[in-house]
Amino acid sequence: MNTSHITRFALLVISLFSLLSFTCSAHAAAQVHIKNCAGEKMLVCTFNGRDVVMMIEADFKRLPDGDSSTLQCAEEQGKGGCRVKAVSRHTSDCGQSYGTTFSGRHKGYFLLFGEGYNDLKEVTESQYKDANACN
């Protein structure tokens, strides 16, 4: 590679990095704190709030029963939150057609009781941290 090719490549990398930094700054991270109370291992996925197709997860965790985790997604201009999907089957991703997508955009603290439409319950931070939260 000669010097002009290296210079062009360096400019391209710098330009792409600048564009990526600008794009990411417009999207703050929303957080969803989820505790699994389903009685079985669950795959929980978040998708960016405006992602209506939901084929590529923003974040995902395999949560054994009783475990909790914080998942993230991009929240555009401080509005909305994450789309959340839970799958009880042993699968590699949430982008499949099965599982439950909980309606709305979420951020905050939640207890997950299964993959039914009403099985994601919003709670306060103190309820989430309570050792008996799943009971």
Residue-number span of the structural domain to which 92 is assigned? 27-129
Is 135 a member of any domain?
Answer: no
Let me know if residue 106 belongs to a domain: yes
Q: Residue 37 maps to which CATH number? A: 2.60.40
pTM: 0.73
Query: Residue 98 falls within a domain, yes or no?
Result: yes
Range among 27-31, 63-67, 103-107 with highest mean pLDDT value: 63-67
- Residue entry with tokens 């905050």: 108
CA angle (106 as vertex; 96, 21 as ends), nearest 5? 85
Q: How far is CA 31 from the centre of its chain?
A: 8
Task: Provide the pLDDT for residue 106.
Answer: 84
Q: Whole-angstrom Cα distance, residue 65 to residue 133?
A: 12
Confidence of residue 92 (pLDDT cuts 50, 70, 90): low
pLDDT at residue 15 is higher than 60: no
- Mean pLDDT, rounded, of the chain: 78
∠ CA(60), CA(65), CA(71), 5° rounding?
25
Q: Using an 8 Å Cβ cutoff, are 48 and 74 in contact? A: yes
